[in-house]
Each structure stands twice: as structure tokens, then as C-alpha cells.
């Protein structure tokens, strides 16, 4: 039986602009401030920030939040 389409991992990947490690597009993403493609760790930093992003907060990376960029 084929898995449901919604629960599959993506086969598209790229490298993180911060650490050059692989980025799964389900877990990582793009910062809305600096427009870099980042892995989960460099984009969100914690599961609390990921949850806030899922609930509507702007998806800003750790570096942009630290430096105070808009």
C-alpha cells in the first residue's frame, strides 16, 4: 500500500547557506528578512520558535533576530 502523499518526506533538497549542511524543505526554509535558505537549526533555533512561526509569526532566522534586522 502506498503511503499517504501528505506524510512523505520531500526528495528536494539543497544546502544550508549558514553551515552548508543538507536542508530538507519540510524542516528548513527561507528567512523572510535575509532570504537565505537555512536548515532547521539556523532558521528556527528551537521548537518554540518553529511553533510560533507555524502560528503566524514571521519566519526570521536566528541571525536576523539576534541582530534586530527587519
Spans of all domains in the chain: 5-67
Tens-digit pLDDT profile for residues 15-61: 999 999 998 878 889 999 999 999 999 999 999 999 999 999 999 99
Residues linked to residue 24 through DSSP beta bridges, in sequence order? 13
pTM value? 0.75
pLDDT at position 41, please? Answer: 94
Amino acid at each position: 500500500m502506498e503511503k499517504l502523499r501528505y506524510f512523505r518526506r520531500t526528495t528536494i533538497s539543497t544546502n544550508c547557506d549558514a553551515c552548508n549542511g543538507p536542508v530538507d524543505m519540510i524542516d528548513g526554509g527561507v528567512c523572510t528578512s535575509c532570504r537565505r535558505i537555512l536548515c532547521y537549526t539556523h532558521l528556527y533555533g528551537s521548537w518554540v520558535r518553529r511553533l510560533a512561526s507555524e502560528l503566524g509569526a514571521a519566519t526570521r532566522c536566528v541571525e536576523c533576530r539576534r541582530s534586530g534586522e527587519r
